[in-house]
Structure formats: C-alpha cells, structure tokens
Amino acid sequence: MTKNNSEKWTWWKHGVIYHIYPRSFQDSNGDGIGDIRGIIRRLGYLKELGIDGIWISPMYASPMIDFGYDVSDYRQIDPASGTMEDFTELLQKAHEAGIRVILDMILNHTSSMHPWFIESSSSLTNAKRNWYIWKEGVMGHPPNNWKSAVGGSAWKLDEKTGQYYLHSFFEEQPDLNWRDAELPGVFFEEMKFWLDLGVDGFRLDVINLIAKDKKFRNNPVLLGIPALQKHIYTRNRKRSVTVVTQIRELLDRYDDRVSVGEIYTNPPGDAKSAARYLAKGTNGIHLAFDFSLIFSRWNAHAYFTSIKTWYDSLPEEGWPCNVLSNHDLLRSIDRFPWRTNREEKAKVAATLLLTLKGTPFIYYGEEIGMHNTHIPKSQIRDPLGKKFWPLFNGRDSARTPMQWNREPNGGFTTGLPWLPLNKDKHSRNVRQQEGEPDSLLNLYRNLIKLRKSSQSLQHGSWLPLNNGKDGILAYFRNTGHERVLVILNFTGRQKSFTLPEHLYGKVLMSTHRTPEEYSYFQKMQISPYEATVCMVIE
Ligand code: GLC
C-alpha cells in the first residue's frame, strides 16, 4: 500500500460502506446482545453483498447509558461485545475478505465513569481538572443558558467541588475540553492505539460540537423559548475545524486510512457547514455526513436540490458521501410518505444512493427494507425514549435485531433479544430475500455489482439532465470514456422520457424491466416508481 494523499484514487472513494449497530447485528453467545464473534460469523454475508468496509458503532468499555456512546476506556472492548482477541480476529478476517474496518470515535465526551473524569472531578486542583469543561455557577444558577441536546441545562452541579461541568448530551457524558493544552495529544494517543492495531479509520461522532465558545456566551434563544436555541456558541466553532486538521495529520501518518465526520446541523442538511470540515488539500477530514438526503422530502425536485446544494458546497478536492439512515433516526423505508408503495420507493432510494457521486453508506437492515418496530413502553432501552415517552419513543425502533431467517428471533440470538424483533421477521429476512430475484436485497447486490463494474458510477462526474420538477430525476455519471444514465421516477404515474438528440440508451439494470427488455432506446415510457440505469451511446 502506498502513502495516503487526497489525490489518490482509494478504497473509501470507490467503496461501499455498511454501518453495523453491533448490539443488533448477530449474537454469538446467547446473551441476546450482538457481539464481535457474531460479526465474524456474518462476514460471508457482507462479502456477498459486495461492500468494501464496515463502520461499527462503539464497542469500547462503557456503562452503556447511551449504548456505547459513553466510553469509560477507549482501549478496551466492552464485555458485551467480546474481547480484544475477538476484535483482532475480526480485523484480520475482515481484511482477508477485503473488508475494511472503521471504528466510531467519540471525541466530544467520555462517560462520567471514565478514570479521566473521576480524577478531574476529584478536586479543583487536580492535574486533569481542565480536561473537562468546569465553570462557576452564577448566583446559584448554571454558568450560562446552554442546553443539552437531550433536554434541560447542559450544566450539572458537582456538589463536591461546587463547580458545574458541561454535558452536551446526558449528564453521564461530560464534555471534554478540546481547548486544553494537554488533552488533544492524550486523546490522539487513544486513536493511535487503534490505528497501530490496523483499523482503517474512524467515524467521528458529533465532530462539529467538540469545541465551545471560549467566552461561554449565551446562545441566542428562538421565539422566546429557552429550550429553543441557535447553537452558535456550542457548535461549529473554528477550533473544531482545527482539531479535525490535527486528526487528518495523524491519519496521514498511516496508509489509506479514512475519517468520516458526523456533522449534524440545525437545520439538518446544512451542506455548507458540513463542507467546512472537508479536505482542502490534505487538511480536513475525508468524508462528512451532511444529512441532506435523509431529510429530503419524497419528491424528485427536493432530492435534486439537496444533492446539487451538497455537491456545490464541497471544496474543490472534497469527496461527498451519501446516506439514507442511521442508528439515531427512523428507518428510511418508513420515512417515505403516505405509507404507499414503500417497497418500490425503497428501490428508487437504493438506486439513487448507489448511483450518486460519493461514497454510499448502508445502515444494517436497510438492504432488506427493515421497518421501524413498535417498542412497548416497558421494553424501551434508549435513554431518550425513557425520558421523552410518550412524546417520543426514542431510537430503539430503528435498532432492532437484524432479521436473518425464519429461525427463532430471526436467527439473531438463541437467547432473549435485548430489543424485540419486528413482527414481520418471518416474511422479511435475508434468507427469504436471497431466494427472490426481485427482492430489495438482490437489488442492493446488483447495484453494488454494477457500481463496481463501472468507472463512471464509481468516480464519474454528476451531470443532471433535469431538475426533477416533472417527477423524474435523471442524471449522467460521466468519465469521458463512459457515460451512464440514471432515471428515477419518484411518482406513481407513468412518464415518458427522451434522451437528448444523437444519444441512445441501453438498459443495464432496471426495477421494472426484464433482461429481454434491455433494448436500445431514444425515448421510453417509465413506469411508476421505476429506477433504471443505462449505458449511453452516441
Ligand atoms: C451521536 C450518536 C448518537 C449519540 C450522540 C452522543 O449523535 O450518533 O447515537 O447518542 O452522538 O454521543
């Protein structure tokens, strides 16, 4: 392997990445919680799907207040996931199968049980005091008006030392102080530990939140409601971009590693903010989730607008990545509106995801169209769900166990699953869909295969033929040597489509045509919710 640099055509640009929520992927020891040995067991499935890398949500030692996003030791695997030996075996076997491994890295906060925080909170003069964000209160009140993302003040009074500490999420997740002189270097050592072990990169949790205003100014309040804030002093501070640059320097000391930042903005899908973190030359992260596809309305023009805005915002060398869903949101198939034709809409969305310019990320289960699962109150596990029920049920409904087959618990566990499986586990599962040529799973497999066989789909330019206003989104992917056309009908109506003069299409793949119908065309009728990919001939 050669040294990484931003110009190089590398795996994370042309590859497809699969996001595993480890508690729910595959259990191997019957305790009802997915684990590393379970992932090892399913590497064959992932290889057959055709993906190039996996991003695994956190598996570090954790009290599991936020299911791993509260880390108490960055160098240990949590016993619920397995052991360090299991992890090194996963890494080795994944690499043998040609699958890269990306870990989640949580820089904004640790668990309150992390030894750093225990030390930091032990006295006002502790050497690690400044590793976290401590402040005096004001007349018995928190230091300022900052709100936590999970509701309430972001400050918690520590009785022992009489100061408040900042927690942007739950109080068991104290925020680290990235303005401290020592902390960044120490934290980078934790990342180095995994890089030295051979992991291929990191997904950087809430990376745009890590630095806060130096002067601790109050956030502006919206509509006079204290809980509604414009997070200008708690998000997207310049210092976060500087840290990202340092992370890039660290990764560049290794071959071929990648960083993908979670840039959750308010309003979501603020492409310009997300793009600020991306590589200009070699000084930013490699990829950023901007959430714009996720929050787009089901409408060809709306998708066109978000895609174009995202691409136009990217710096010259910036490379997009695209995603339909993740472990914090509703399942994509249930976001498509009106509860009609959801399977067909999921196929249109899959074709979009896998034919756009940029690295596609697939959330586990999306490839079989897993639905949100209703979780009864007594079985809610997500702390957000517990806190806000019945207003908000939490995030469990999109984190239920993977549906593999018709065996008990969908083949996920022989024990009692930590979250209930969806009722449809017998009719919607991997085994079932493997046997159905027109299933969503086979569409995903075929699209990934097609993407791999086509230079233009992997790295060609994106050239829209229209703006989607008539319900069809059509675009070319072009390398100069090869031109592919993608036609997506977002409507339930038949449409006719004509190629520009002198151009002909030859169907390569279609949700509505059999291979016998893969003819040459200049003009064609597009069925409701049809997704078709063609080779263009002059
Ligand atoms: C990110 C994670 C989410 C977690 C939060 C706090 O948004 O995706 O699951 O709760 O950060 O770490």
List domains and CATH numbers for the chain.
7-109+181-448 (3.20.20.80), 110-177 (3.90.400.10), 461-537 (2.60.40.1180)
Within 13 Å of residue 438, how many CA atoms lie on the same side as its CB?
A: 10
Instruction: Locate 228 and state its tokens.
Output: 């509604």
Q: Please state, in angstroms and rounded to a whole number, the distance separating the CA atoms of residues 107 and 206.
A: 8
The phi-psi region of residue 384 (left if phi > 0; otherwise alpha if psi is between -120 and 50; otherwise beta) is: alpha
The phi-psi region of residue 89 (left if phi > 0; otherwise alpha if psi is between -120 and 50; otherwise beta) is: alpha
Query: What was the pLDDT predicted at 8?
Result: 58
Closest approach atom of ligand 1 to CA 384: 10
- The closest alpha carbon to 290, from 331, 256, 326, belongs to 326
- Tell me the CA–centroid distance for residue 233 and ligand 1, in Å: 19
- Tell me the CA–centroid distance for residue 206 and ligand 1, in Å: 7
The response to whether residue 106 sits with its C-beta less than 6 Å from ligand 1 reads yes
Residues 6+ apart with CB under 8 A from 264: 206, 208, 289, 291
- Tell me the CA–centroid distance for residue 149 and ligand 1, in Å: 10
Q: Please state, in angstroms and rounded to a whole number, the distance separating the CA atoms of residues 333 and 44.
A: 25
Taking only the tens of pLDDT, the chain with its 538 residues reads 334 444 457 999 999 999 999 999 999 999 999 999 999 999 999 999 999 999 999 999 999 999 999 999 999 999 999 999 999 999 999 999 999 999 999 999 999 999 999 999 999 999 999 999 999 999 999 999 999 999 999 999 999 999 999 999 999 999 999 999 999 999 999 999 999 999 999 999 999 999 999 999 999 999 998 889 999 999 999 999 999 999 999 999 999 999 999 998 777 778 888 888 986 766 899 999 988 899 999 999 999 999 999 999 998 888 999 999 999 999 999 998 878 999 999 999 999 999 999 999 999 999 999 999 999 999 999 999 999 999 999 999 999 999 999 999 999 999 999 999 999 999 999 999 999 999 999 999 999 999 999 999 999 999 999 999 999 999 999 999 999 999 999 999 999 999 999 999 999 999 999 888 888 999 999 999 999 999 999 8
Using most ligand atoms within 8 A of CB, pick from 102, 104, 111, 169 the residue to mutate for ligand 1: 169
Instruction: Locate 320 and state its tokens.
Output: 């997009």
- Tell me the CA–centroid distance for residue 35 and ligand 1, in Å: 20
- Tell me the CA–centroid distance for residue 171 and ligand 1, in Å: 14
Using most ligand atoms within 8 A of CB, pick from 23, 24, 55, 66 the residue to mutate for ligand 1: 66
Residues 6+ apart with CB under 8 A from 11: 52, 53, 100, 256, 258
Query: What was the pLDDT predicted at 339?
Result: 81
Q: Please state, in angstroms and rounded to a whole number, the distance separating the CA atoms of residues 258 and 285.
A: 8
Partners of 141 in beta bridges: 138
- The closest alpha carbon to 273, from 290, 260, 287, belongs to 290
The response to whether residue 66 sits with its C-beta less than 6 Å from ligand 1 reads yes
The response to whether residue 169 sits with its C-beta less than 6 Å from ligand 1 reads yes
Query: What was the pLDDT predicted at 299?
Result: 94
pTM of the model: 0.97
**DSSP single-letter state for residue 409:** G
Instruction: Locate 88 and state its tokens.
Output: 């090194």
Closest approach atom of ligand 1 to CA 69: 12
Query: What was the pLDDT predicted at 338?
Result: 75
Q: Whose CA is nearest to atom 9 of ligand 1?
A: 328
Query: What was the pLDDT predicted at 200?
Result: 98
- Tell me the CA–centroid distance for residue 519 and ligand 1, in Å: 47
The response to whether residue 328 sits with its C-beta less than 6 Å from ligand 1 reads yes
Instruction: Locate 124 and state its tokens.
Output: 């006002």
Q: Whose CA is nearest to atom 4 of ligand 1?
A: 69
Q: Please state, in angstroms and rounded to a whole number, the distance separating the CA atoms of residues 377 and 296.
A: 30
The response to whether residue 396 sits with its C-beta less than 6 Å from ligand 1 reads no
- The closest alpha carbon to 24, from 324, 323, 327, 380, belongs to 327
How far is residue 475 from each of residues 123, 304, 453, 482, 526, measured CA to CA in Å? 61, 10, 18, 14, 15
- Tell me the CA–centroid distance for residue 431 and ligand 1, in Å: 31
The response to whether residue 329 sits with its C-beta less than 6 Å from ligand 1 reads no
Within 13 Å of residue 337, how many CA atoms lie on the same side as its CB?
A: 8
State the catalytic residues.
Answer: 205, 262
Using most ligand atoms within 8 A of CB, pick from 23, 64, 69, 323 the residue to mutate for ligand 1: 69
Closest approach atom of ligand 1 to CA 70: 12
User: Are residues 200 and 100 in contact, defined by beta-carbon separation less than 8 angstroms?
Assistant: yes
